[in-house]
Amino acid sequence: MAHMLALFGNVVLWASYAFAMLCLVLLVYAVSQGGAREVATWVVMISLCTAALVIGSLIRYILGGKRKA
29 within some domain: yes
Print burial letters for 21-42: b (CB count within 10 Å at least 16), e (below 16). Answer: eebeeebeeeeeeeebeeeeee
3-class DSSP string for 21-32: HHHHHHHHHHHH
Look up the domain containing 17 and give its range.
Answer: 2-64
69 within some domain: no
26 within some domain: yes
Distance CA 17, CA 20 (A): 5
52 within some domain: yes
| Closest to 36 in 3D by CA, of 24, 21, 48, 53 | 24
pLDDT of residue 23: 84
Domain count across the chain = 1
pLDDT, tens digit (0-9, with 9 covering 90-100), for 1-50: 767 777 887 888 888 888 888 888 888 887 787 766 777 777 888 888 88
